[in-house]
């Protein structure tokens, strides 16, 4: 991996300057020795939003024009999910470091293609599964690494939230564009499960459907088909079990997410949003409250609970050190594979082995 001097300003190009592209731009304004110098988007309203986030930034309607610039060090891909594979095909031909938003691709086959391409590449390739950097989640992972709960046996994640937001061209209203809700939205959670389990998944069983949201939405005569609720069970190779409880019509709850990790000696609990975790030993000497405040440097706390900012700090640290990415293309592939397996399980009404996707 190439190194950058500590005082070198890392120059970024943003491909896709809509909602997430704008978040990256606003965050990078507060990262030392980082500068967004160019953005690319085929939609003028998205370019206008990007210019509002960073007045004076240079714009391109075609991202390939941006890739021909000689004043960039890194690019961020924040385009619609279904475009990732084609944009990555071009970006990976360059020497630019790249951070690609989740999901890495919409299919496992495309993810495998990216993993093969990245394997022979010197420049940094990072997948934007930034939930690892939310303050309470990061605190839980620190406790896991310290052995606080003994051997991990169960990982449970509940997300009860609001429906999908509107996106340009309503691309996120159809499974073919997103990869499906359990890929588009839940790849973050499957990544956390796999990370906490310390092993790859082998089997997925799920039940879900589209029962409340978007039932009366039609686009060019075609009704939206995105799933809005599911239960997913995941078995990992080392015997750890994971569970996801998703509802996208439950925005009235106290917390958007509740996460528990249960081990042989203790249980960890937390919420998002939140500023602490609980460690509950089996001997009932607790539970012990462990503070996990947001990093005071975070400029926009509402941007994924500050995780986008911390992600860019870690990305920049790896660039300067010439280190391997903390979140790899391999991680991105498994996160998509778990979601794809869950959708197949729902569609076919059976447990699905991940080896069916060539993931072993």
Of 99, 114, 130, the domain-final residue: 130
Residue 323 lies in a domain: no
| Nearest partner of 193 among 143, 252, 260, 253, judged by Cα | 260
Residues 226 and 99 placed together within one structural domain of the fold: no
Instruction: Take residue 276 and report the two structure tokens written for it.
Output: 């602490």
Cα–Cα distance for residue pair 220/202, rounded to 1 Å? 39
Residues 199 and 345 placed together within one structural domain of the fold: yes
pLDDT 10s digits, 194-231: 999 999 999 999 999 999 999 999 999 999 999 999 99
The model's confidence at residue 179, banded by pLDDT at 50, 70 and 90, is very high
Residue the block writes with tokens 């385009």: 79
pLDDT 10s digits, 37-56: 999 999 999 999 999 999 99
Which phi and psi (to 5°) does residue 193 adopt? -60, -50
Residues 58 and 120 placed together within one structural domain of the fold: yes
pLDDT 10s digits, 226-259: 999 999 999 999 999 999 999 999 999 999 999 9
The model's confidence at residue 4, banded by pLDDT at 50, 70 and 90, is confident
Residue 312 lies in a domain: no
The helix, strand and coil proportions of the chain, stated in percent and rounded to the nearest 5, come to 35, 25, 40
Residues 147 and 235 placed together within one structural domain of the fold: yes
Burial track 62-100 (b if 16+ CB lie within 10 A, e otherwise): ebeebbebeebbbbbbbbbbbbbbebbeebbeeebbbbb
Of 84, 101, 130, the domain-final residue: 130
The answer, yes or no, to whether residue 1 has pLDDT greater than 80, is: no
- 174, 225 in Cβ contact below 8 A? yes
CATH number reported for the structural domain that contains residue 39 in this entry: 3.40.50.720
Of 130, 148, 172, the domain-final residue: 130
Residues 94 and 206 placed together within one structural domain of the fold: no
Residues 179 and 280 placed together within one structural domain of the fold: yes
Q: Average pLDDT for residues 311-324, to the nearest whole number?
A: 96
Residues 80 and 141 placed together within one structural domain of the fold: no
Residue 16 lies in a domain: yes
The contacts of residue 207 (CB under 8 Å, 6+ apart) are: 230, 231, 345, 346
Would you say the pTM of this structure is higher than 0.85?
yes
Residues 197 and 226 placed together within one structural domain of the fold: yes
- Average pLDDT of the chain to the nearest whole number: 96
Residues 286 and 141 placed together within one structural domain of the fold: yes
The contacts of residue 348 (CB under 8 Å, 6+ apart) are: none
The answer, yes or no, to whether residue 188 has pLDDT greater than 90, is: yes
Residue 88 lies in a domain: yes
Which phi and psi (to 5°) does residue 43 adopt? -100, 125
CATH number reported for the structural domain that contains residue 207 in this entry: 3.30.360.10
The model's confidence at residue 2, banded by pLDDT at 50, 70 and 90, is low
For the chain, the residue count is 360
Residue 316 lies in a domain: no
Residues 170 and 278 placed together within one structural domain of the fold: yes
Domains in the chain, number: 2
Residues 162 and 285 placed together within one structural domain of the fold: yes
pLDDT 10s digits, 129-138: 999 999 999 9
Domain hosting 210: range is 132-295+329-357
Cα–Cα distance for residue pair 51/56, rounded to 1 Å? 6
Residue 303 lies in a domain: no
DSSP string, 128-140: E-GGGGSHHHHHH
Residue 200 lies in a domain: yes
Residues 72 and 87 placed together within one structural domain of the fold: yes
- 141, 195 in Cβ contact below 8 A? yes
Residue 324 lies in a domain: no
């Amino acid at each position: 991996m190439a190194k950058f001097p500590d005082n070198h300003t890392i120059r970024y190009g943003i491909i896709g300057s809509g909602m997430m592209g704008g978040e990256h731009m606003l965050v990078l304004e507060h990262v030392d020795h980082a500068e967004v110098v160019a953005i690319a988007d085929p939609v003028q309203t998205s370019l206008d939003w990007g210019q509002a986030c960073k007045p004076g930034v240079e714009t391109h309607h075609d991202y390939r024009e941006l890739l021909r610039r000689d004043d960039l060090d890194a690019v961020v891909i924040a385009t619609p999910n279904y475009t990732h594979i084609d944009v990555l095909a071009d970006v990976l031909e360059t020497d630019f470091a790249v951070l690609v938003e989740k999901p890495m691709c919409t299919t496992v086959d495309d993810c495998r293609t990216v993993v093969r391409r990245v394997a022979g590449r010197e420049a940094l390739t990072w997948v934007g599964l930034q939930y690892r950097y939310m303050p309470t989640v990061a605190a839980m992972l620190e406790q896991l690494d310290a052995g606080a709960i003994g051997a991990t046996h169960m990982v449970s994640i509940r997300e009860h939230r609001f429906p999908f937001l509107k996106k340009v061209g309503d691309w996120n209203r159809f499974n073919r564009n997103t990869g499906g809700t359990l890929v588009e939205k839940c790849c973050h959670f499957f990544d956390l499960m796999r990370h906490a389990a310390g092993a790859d998944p082998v089997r997925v069983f799920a039940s879900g459907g589209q029962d409340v949201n978007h039932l009366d939405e039609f686009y060019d005569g075609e009704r939206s088909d995105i799933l809005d609720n599911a239960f997913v069970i995941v078995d990992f190779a080392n015997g750890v079990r994971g569970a996801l409880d998703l509802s996208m019509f439950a925005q009235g709850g106290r917390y958007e997410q509740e996460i528990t990790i249960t081990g042989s000696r203790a249980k960890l609990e937390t919420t998002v949003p939140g500023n602490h975790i609980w460690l509950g030993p089996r001997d009932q000497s607790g539970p012990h409250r462990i503070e996990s405040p947001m990093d005071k440097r975070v400029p926009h706390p509402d941007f994924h609970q500050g995780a986008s900012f911390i992600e860019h700090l870690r990305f920049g640290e790896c660039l300067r050190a010439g280190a391997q990415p903390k979140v790899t293309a391999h991680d991105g592939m498994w996160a998509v594979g778990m979601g794809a397996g869950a959708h197949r399980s729902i569609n076919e009404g059976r447990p699905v082995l991940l080896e069916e996707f060539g993931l072993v």
